[in-house]
Structure 1
Amino acid sequence: MPPESTENPYVEEPPTEFEPVESLDETEAREQADLLREAIRYHDRRYYRKADPVISDRVYDALFARLETLEDRFDIDSADSPTQRVGGEPVDEFETVDHVAPMLSIDSTEDADEVRNFADRIEREFDGVSYVCEPKFDGISIEVVYEDGQLVRGVTRGDGREGDDVTANVRTIRSIPLQLSGDYPEFLAVRGEIYMPRDAFQAYNRELVERGEDPFANPRNATAGTIRQHDPTVVAERPLDCFFFEVLDASREWESRYAEDETLPEFGLRVNEHTTRVDDIEAAISYRDDILDQRDDLNYEIDGVVIKVDGRAEREALGSTARHYRWAIAYKFPARTEETTVRDIAVQVGRTGRLTPVALLDPVDVGGVTVARASLHNPDEIARLGVDIGDGVRIERAGDVIPQVAEVLDDGDGHFEFPDSCPVCESAIERDGPMAHCTGGIACDAQLRESLVYYGSDPGLDIDGLGERTIRQLLDTGLIERLPDLYRLDADELAGLEGWGERSARNLIEAIEATEEPPLADFLSALGVPHVGPATARELAREFGDLDSLMGASVDELESVDEVGDVVAGEIHDFFASEANRAVIEELRNEGVEPQSAEMSGGDELAGLTIVFTGSLDEYTRSEAQELVEAHGGSATGSVSGNTDYLVTGENPGATKVEDAEAEDVERLDEDEFEALLADRGIDPT
């Protein structure tokens, strides 16, 4: 029974219904907040360091939410409160600070005889040497400093003498206590290894793959990329963990490294359960072989073991070189090569909706490159290989570049079943031969970036200032998460982004607002409906007149439109039949976007004429020229056929259209001749 349980009601079977905050005075609020902090620290220790929780996640969340409410309402937050782990303000750069004590590197070898030579040198100077053996974690070394039991600094290893102050990021890692427990020393600087657990790494990579983003190559890269994030809230969202294994400096002394390992858990500092002490170097070598056998069953990456002299007195006498300790050696494992295990299979959703299955692997060396994923190409390839989660496989790099599963080594039963719905948006999956595509379109988050870029491009609504770089920044900062969020952007928030000012922010807002009443054809093209470019969008707008009529059209009605065949008609129908897509369109309308009906504003002066444009015109964009023709009753198509009356050519015309016009005996007009045609028909384009 924990010592807190007799006085703290939130430790064992805690209540989750609380009296209204309004009924508390500040003294009562402070008392309750102190009890909640104490209890949450206890539950964190049980969950993150002992893997033995005593309450459910739901109860924990209720206690945490109550503490947040009290701290916010009464302004009583504290630096060591568990609520401070959610992150802080971003920083522009990390400050470089000196280490309390040098964090040197360790000599390494894969040769057992070199390990024996290491021991011989030591044992010539000292009798009865014991060694501490521990896994060599493949993560990021960190110095964590406590004063009066409170975490005051976290510093990366850097060059061993100084490193980056990443305290704000370290504070978000729940296995690193903000406040020590037990009989801790007044000052304590301890070395640890931050890492990403293997199961968490695979889950995180799966999310990246499904969103169409590049996954991390291995857990170490994921850890390094996370701990150096300038925004602590990003770090707080990623699954980092930590083991501690060395006291760098303290206001208390220990006689041996193993004695440290026995004491650190009393302070709430997590140590590794596989650390042990042995009496001779042969036992240390056997330890390495035993850990190698267990390697695949551990939930963290290791690349060997570290063998250290246990006694403090012997360590101090041995000292160090300028770069490494003389009292430790790393006995490394051989690299995994070519053969590995499939830990998961994720289905990646590309920017165009194409689905690609990806095998997430235990990292393996293939031709000198660490590989943690491999393409499975398509559902038919999965069936051909017979590959499933948990299978042993052989990996090769196709063309010495792209990793792929070449062979399944385990002859298991069956294979991975390809999903029927998109893993990102749950829309139906459409099969086209061996290929598979998500039908989610604008409602699929994995396709969002490409959808946004296209929406603001020239074939879409031509929003000035909304290029790919801007879209990436808006997504990365969380200002937009869905297409309709474009119309919810705030000029002040935009102006606060890097590279923005009040004028540029206002210009973009005004450019977006100017698209709230787009021509129906432009809006249809901007949505990125499969196979619907500007020319087809104009035909659809002419045929159906308004958006609601088009959204309710049957496949047969769609197929009757010029340039729309049966396959395209089915794609258009499915796009507008999707509840998710319709919801996005409804959101856009709620934000004031109302496509304008395709009405012939200038009459029917060009009725019966079909005109194609190619090349660059001086007075019009191609889209403007096409809209002008259609506004006066003509048809502006994207390709030349026997029904075409005129091909209008500007600078650098397309060779194919010119050749087709010659073959079909279609009359060619330059821009001046096109304007003369308009004038002859009584059309004033101004």
Structure 2
Amino acid sequence: MQKPDNTYVEPPVDTGFDEPGALSSDEAREQVASLREAIRYHDHRYYVENDPVISDKTYDALYARLEALEDGFGFEDENSPTQRVGGEPLDELETREHVVEMLSLDSSEDEGEVRSFGANVRDVCGDVGYHVEPKFDGLSVELVYEDGELEAAVTRGDGVVGEDVTANLRTVGSVPLRLRDAPDEVVVRGEILMPKEGFQDLNRRRVERGDEPFANPRNAAAGTVRLLDPSVVADRPLEVYVYDVLRTSADVASQTEAVELVESLGFLVDDDSALVDDVDGFVGYRDEMLDRRDELGYEIDGVVAKVDSFDARDRLGETSAHPRWAFAYKFPAKTDVTRVTDIAVQVGRTGKLTPVALLEPVDVDGVTISRASLHNQKQVRELGVSEGARVEVERAGDVIPQVKEVTDDADDGFSMPESCPVCGSDTIREDEHHYCTGGVACPAQLRSRLEHFGSRDGMDIEGIGEEVAASLVDEGLVSDLPDLYELTVDEVAALEGFGERSARKLIDEIEAGKDTDLVSFVTALGVRHVGRERARKLADAFRLDQLREATVGEVRRVEDVGDEVAESVVGFFGGRGGETVDSLLAHGVEPQREETGDALEGTKVVFTGSVEGYTRRELTDLLEKNGADVTSSVSGETDYLVAGENPGENKIEDAREHGVETLDEEGFQERVLSRVD
């Protein structure tokens, strides 16, 4: 094989620059070319070889000089190193047909099927060698280079057509924007990955700001590369490993030569590939990589064997779905026991700090778990959870991930921080819990409060979910709840995922939500310890003006309100919360107190399953407005269990045990709803 002479040699660059204005256009152009070559070299040392040879300060000086010359002389080039920061946001990801069809691989966890693959190869080609490599657990991508320049990056999609993610992959340091001394045409296949360390750091930041963490590095990488804003992608820790040549004008005759070619061209190549003589060698390689799986810096879900000789591959051919010359030997999923990589602290809507164990992703009952709530410092210490500990994980109630027990200790333990990890405000301890004192000045609290404010139980503003709330806060458009009512269509349209039409819809929803009921308004305010049920009882007892002036003793007399809740309510309206209410009212929010009845006074009802024509919230509101008590679990005091469509068997069994009457939808209409006005 004739490989291009693409050895990376450090170009000489003098950092003692003249002022740009002192250069002629030709001198500037020459210096730009020299700087680009130098920066590409140092990018390769940093991102591919993981062996930088200059300080960050020196690199920054080279980079700043290049930017200044490109801007000053108009030397624009989409493949310049300065373009890795990301371009303008996209309206959508376009689709693009692949240069070469990207087939999937036949795979199995069964050794017998692996040996059958080897037998089929031997029947056609006799004894052949195999190139074996880790099977990356990421997102497959085609990279197309013409005359050495990156022309396109396309996800696998259906193998024929994929999504054009070129703008996003230009921001990834391990993707060369320009190949040195490259063949005229190079089309390679690689895997977009998020390294474990980068994944855990990203999840820590997401947890601390109140966002849901990614389930695993693959989901994180796939979600990132499909973002419409390349500048956001540039801040995410992605890498691209290249492992196949799909088409090239260079002469390559085997997988071994193909890997040597892509490495010489400057791509990031995995060091754990090998050449084995037969399927026995492949099976041994699989066992070795399974043992080393946890040591690797990225996730793999198996290993791959490819017939090394391209001539032999031609004789084997391919099916419509996969090549007959390659096979993936899959690993079993990681289950139950995993390692704690970090303990992050999440800041909730009320400022409550919750420790969260960040885990190496593990499969529990078919669901990938990457984090588990630890509730408070006391539980962390009682369980003995610490960074580096091996733990057994379970899904409590088949839903919430939690640490069952520690199987192997690590460091000296965990303590809650003295300052908020998001805003730096002091933290205080109340009983077993810690709270951030930053209030709405804390972005994490504000994001969660805004999401809660717009929720169905609150102001019911369709469109204000977790991501939109985070964008509004992060972009500085909302610094307190009333700011929501000052948003403009143009401001919202500029956010990730919005256009003018969707922005107008959100503004209309916000405006329509000004006419609300008092229960929803009080719920939306996010007073600590006050959910919708307590908000209804407070709204039954007070008008808004009365509630704002009520004493602890007066609030304490409301059913299901103790000293702690009463103090929280009075403290809220007497402090910053009262100012927020004033501003909301000034912006036109008009909460109305609903008329209530007593037709169902004293009736206790539990629902299971869905009732046609109603949401669960609508039913609860309707019954509670008429005096009923709607609870979530069946007890001896329950009057009726309403069993709608797809009811839960546990509640029906509980009703039998307690002698509680179970009503179907028709019975519910006759016995309960008929009594309501």
TM-score (norm: length of structure 2): 0.73
How far apart in 2 are the matches of 1:103 and 1:314? 19
Match of 2:271 in 1: 273
Of 438, 441, 450, 1:443 maps to 441
SS at structure 1 position matched to 2:92? coil
Structure 1 residue 318, shift from structure 2 partner: 0.7
Match of 1:220 in 2: 218
Match of 1:298 in 2: 296
How far apart in 2 are the matches of 1:327 and 1:456? 55
Structure 1 residue 47, shift from structure 2 partner: 0.5
Q: Greater shift after overlay, 407-416 or 476-485? A: 476-485
Of 295, 299, 316, 2:314 maps to 316
CA-atom RMSD in angstroms: 4.3
Structure 1 residue 539, shift from structure 2 partner: 8.5
Q: Greater shift after overlay, 30-39 or 132-141? A: 30-39
Runs of 5+ consecutive residues of structure 2 not aligned to the other structure = 1-5, 515-521, 587-591, 597-623, 629-677
Contact kept in structure 1, 2:338 and 2:392, CA below 8 Å: yes
How far apart in 2 are the matches of 1:113 and 1:360? 36
Structure 1 residue 124, shift from structure 2 partner: 2.7
Contact kept in structure 2, 1:156 and 1:164, CA below 8 Å: yes
Of 454, 458, 476, 1:480 maps to 476
Structure 1 residue 142, shift from structure 2 partner: 0.5
Contact kept in structure 2, 1:441 and 1:529, CA below 8 Å: no
Structure 1 residue 570, shift from structure 2 partner: 9.1
For 1:366-445, list aligned pairs within 5 A: 366-412=364-410, 414-445=412-443
SS at structure 2 position matched to 1:190? strand
Match of 2:464 in 1: 469
Q: Which structure is larger by alpha-carbon Rg, 1 or 2?
A: 1
Aligned in 2, Cα 1:66/1:595: closer, same or farther, shift over 3 Å?
farther
1:285 correspondence with 2:275: no
For 1:285-684, list aligned pairs within 5 A: 285-412=283-410, 414-452=412-450, 469=464, 473=468, 475-476=470-471, 479-480=475-476, 483=479, 492-494=490-492, 498=498, 500=500, 615=594
How far apart in 2 are the matches of 1:473 and 1:400? 29
Match of 1:134 in 2: 133
Structure 1 residue 239, shift from structure 2 partner: 1.0
Match of 1:665 in 2: none
Structure 1 residue 180, shift from structure 2 partner: 0.7
Contact kept in structure 1, 2:11 and 2:38, CA below 8 Å: no
For 1:121-160, list aligned pairs within 5 A: 121-160=120-159
Structure 1 residue 415, shift from structure 2 partner: 2.1
How far apart in 2 are the matches of 1:321 and 1:314? 15
1:8 correspondence with 2:7: no
Structure 1 residue 29, shift from structure 2 partner: 3.1
SS at structure 2 position matched to 1:308? strand
1:63 correspondence with 2:62: yes
Aligned in 2, Cα 1:316/1:348: closer, same or farther, shift over 3 Å?
same
Structure 1 residue 96, shift from structure 2 partner: 2.5
1:256 correspondence with 2:254: yes
Structure 1 residue 342, shift from structure 2 partner: 0.8
SS at structure 1 position matched to 2:124? coil
Aligned in 2, Cα 1:536/1:35: closer, same or farther, shift over 3 Å?
farther
Aligned in 2, Cα 1:76/1:538: closer, same or farther, shift over 3 Å?
farther
Match of 1:546 in 2: none
Letter of the 2:87 partner, please give it: G
How far apart in 2 are the matches of 1:653 and 1:290? 66
SS at structure 1 position matched to 2:251? coil
SS at structure 1 position matched to 2:318? coil
How far apart in 2 are the matches of 1:260 and 1:148? 18
Aligned in 2, Cα 1:168/1:459: closer, same or farther, shift over 3 Å?
closer
Contact kept in structure 2, 1:539 and 1:562, CA below 8 Å: no
Letter of the 1:120 partner, please give it: A
- 1:456-498 deviations in Å (ceiling 9; x for gaps): 99999x9xx9876299547427543650676996664446664
Contact kept in structure 2, 1:155 and 1:166, CA below 8 Å: yes
Aligned in 2, Cα 1:236/1:576: closer, same or farther, shift over 3 Å?
farther
Structure 1 residue 238, shift from structure 2 partner: 1.2
How far apart in 2 are the matches of 1:156 and 1:471? 27
- 1:269-309 deviations in Å (ceiling 9; x for gaps): 11100011122222222111111111111110001110111
For 1:17-36, list aligned pairs within 5 A: 18-36=17-35
Structure 1 residue 425, shift from structure 2 partner: 1.3
Aligned in 2, Cα 1:470/1:304: closer, same or farther, shift over 3 Å?
closer
Structure 1 residue 338, shift from structure 2 partner: 0.6
How far apart in 1 are the matches of 2:138 and 2:567? 51
- 1:327-378 deviations in Å (ceiling 9; x for gaps): 1111111211111111111111122222221111111111121211112122
1:179 correspondence with 2:178: yes
Structure 1 residue 62, shift from structure 2 partner: 3.1
Aligned in 2, Cα 1:415/1:5: closer, same or farther, shift over 3 Å?
closer
Match of 1:610 in 2: none
Letter of the 1:372 partner, please give it: S
SS at structure 2 position matched to 1:47? helix
Contact kept in structure 1, 2:357 and 2:373, CA below 8 Å: yes
How far apart in 2 are the matches of 1:417 and 1:320? 57
The sequence identity of aligned pairs, in percent, is 49
How far apart in 1 are the matches of 2:504 and 2:30? 50
- 1:484-519 deviations in Å (ceiling 9; x for gaps): 6769966644466645479959988x98xx9xxxxx
Contact kept in structure 2, 1:247 and 1:260, CA below 8 Å: yes
Contact kept in structure 1, 2:210 and 2:448, CA below 8 Å: no
How far apart in 1 are the matches of 2:92 and 2:62? 35
Runs of 5+ consecutive residues of structure 1 not aligned to the other structure = 515-523, 544-557, 597-612, 618-651, 657-686
Q: Greater shift after overlay, 244-253 or 434-443? A: 434-443
Structure 1 residue 120, shift from structure 2 partner: 2.1
Aligned in 2, Cα 1:401/1:75: closer, same or farther, shift over 3 Å?
same
Match of 1:634 in 2: none
